[in-house]
Homo-oligomer: A and B are copies of this chain.
């Protein structure tokens, strides 16, 4: 027996008490009880109501202590000022999970925040998992468990379908439930998290990852509080073969502010969220429609096995459009073999036989053309996925049935194939297709987009997660405050970031000796001073100094800096080789409040400054993830040898990135930010070198 999921008391309890349950089934305090009864919950169900013997026909108890036998889960909808008392009673009774609808906590200001902290502490000390407060609750239709007042259940219990859904906002969650239902997707388990005093979106994902009847998980997120917990939940879903689709809002300035004022959560940087979701293998949906359509595509009973797509149409125009969509989405319309093209032409002389395959309106006269075409594409040509455009045929009296027979027949003969239909069908016909595992899309572009999302989800599930090297151990503690170039580079060098051979000279004589020791023709001299943040602006850098002139240059450099920064302590001058060529990159790490250390990579110069061409990854990660990061840069071609440059040493860059991420992860508690600007990447085989670096740590 595996250990039960930590949320099973909340989402799959054997007994439920409802505080303040009303006899009026239309009131908020009466709705949940009604939903339980309508959904046929078989566990213990205990309305708590001191004024009635029964509530809606169910035996009521004056308080939770009076309930005979154990109560696993409790619903609290009492006003905020009574919530503490109710929570304490739950602890006394040994309740394991509480759903708290009550509003008036952290979302209303400091006073509410203090109250929320108090009930959260009571729950924690009492071993209770708390959902909410300020939430709309949840349902698990697999057992008829409905601790919610969402109006979604007003029309009766919803089928216990294959989709799991977690939404931070209950009101918007209700809207998403309505949209999915209209699209013909049944949500079996839904959780809204409200203020997330304890239970967060991640916990819901984790429960649904374990739920054997959930095949895909859709979420709506305004802010993730704990990135690591979220990552763990997503990894669990992946291990269990379930795609996670996520809409994360609050990316705009106004949206960010609005999100911060809503359900008391702080939204982070959207670019980092975007990178993190990609890295974790989450399919990010941009709009509610996208979320619903991707969820639809991922709950058809199978997922496409590769990016090859066959397109069959009865209209050339739709074929063109779907070819455009496929290219944009990265699907491959590989052309049919010559022999297969000849076969198509033998059935339909004016067909387009290549792919898209346009069988023309000829199939109206001879529906067997459809059977033959589908078998050719899914059988002989072994396409893992196919989309057919048949416009209103699916609803025409003449063609609706023959089309259904052809499509469902093909799917039953080729059960691994992923078949999507772009057509306009009446609701009952639409349901028949769906029951056969075939998604129906009115818009052919949308059909291709949905297939592509399903392909991406399948690819993530079938690709093992990239390995992450072990974190470095036994690193000495970082100094406090501002760690400037010389020291920062030594620290990073010890962590595997390449730096140049360089020597700190404290006199002209040492400088000259260092120059000849390094054996380079030209050198760079840089002032080393804890008091000078911007070396170049203070005249503290000399480039391209011939080896023989380094002693004299030392004197000039020190004099120049002293003239400009009279009180600066000067620790010496750093002598290093003058490199020519190569590409300057900017590497950085910031300690994100949600995801912890996040590594940034950008190309130097205009790419970062004008185009904001940067990419992020959560630390730690290995070289393969670093290579993906590099490839994401719009200016990546520069590194691959555009404009006659030699290809850059991408392996060295990837290794530096990975090592930086390992160092940052190991030292996450000790620093605020790390900058390597620039890291010079030289030609393939010549490595890379951090030319300057800065580490900031808390004082």
Contact = CB atoms under 8 A, between A and B. Distances in A.
A253 B263 CA distance: 47
Interface string A411-442: 00000000000001000000000000000001
A234 to B, nearest CB: 21
B424 A179 contact: yes
A236 interface: no
A288 B443 contact: yes
Most buried by B among A151, A222, A250: A151
B318 A175 contact: yes
B175 A392 contact: yes
Interface in A156-186: 167-169, 171-175, 178-179, 182
A46 interface: no
Residue of A107, A333, A355 with most partner-chain B CB within 10 A? A333
Interface in A54-104: 103
Interface stretch (A300-308, A548-556, A605-613): A605-613
Q: For A220, A315, A321, A444, which residue has the most chain B Cβ atoms within 10 angstroms?
A: A321
A531 interface: no
Given A255-B324, A328-B252, A361-B171, A319 B262 contact: yes
A310 interface: no
Interface in A621-644: 634-635, 637-638, 642-643
Nearest to A150: B392
A445 interface: yes
A171 B262 contact: no
A643 B316 contact: no
Contacts of A250: 320, 324
A287 B446 contact: yes
A366 interface: no
A110 to B, nearest CB: 15
A153 B151 CA distance: 39
Interface string A340-360: 000000000010101110100
A635 to B, nearest CB: 6
Interface in A225-266: 249-255, 257-259, 261-263
Contacts of A249: 317, 320-321, 324
B251 A324 contact: yes
A374 B219 CA distance: 32
A108 B610 CA distance: 51
A688 interface: no
A316 B610 contact: no
B444 A288 contact: yes
A486 to B, nearest CB: 27
Interface of A: 103, 107-108, 151-152, 154, 167-169, 171-175, 178-179, 182, 220, 222, 249-255, 257-259, 261-263, 286-289, 314-321, 323-328, 333, 350, 352, 354-356, 358, 361, 391-392, 396, 424, 442-446, 605-606, 609-611, 634-635, 637-638, 642-643
Given A182-B442, A258-B316, A287-B446, 17 more contacts: A108-B350, A151-B392, A167-B317, A173-B317, A175-B391, A178-B391, A252-B328, A254-B327, A254-B333, A254-B356, A258-B323, A259-B320, A262-B319, A605-B643, A609-B642, A611-B611, A611-B634
25 contacts: A167-B317, A169-B318, A171-B361, A175-B315, A175-B391, A178-B392, A249-B321, A252-B324, A252-B328, A254-B327, A258-B352, A262-B316, A262-B317, A262-B320, A287-B325, A287-B443, A288-B443, A288-B444, A289-B445, A606-B635, A606-B638, A609-B642, A610-B638, A610-B642, A611-B611
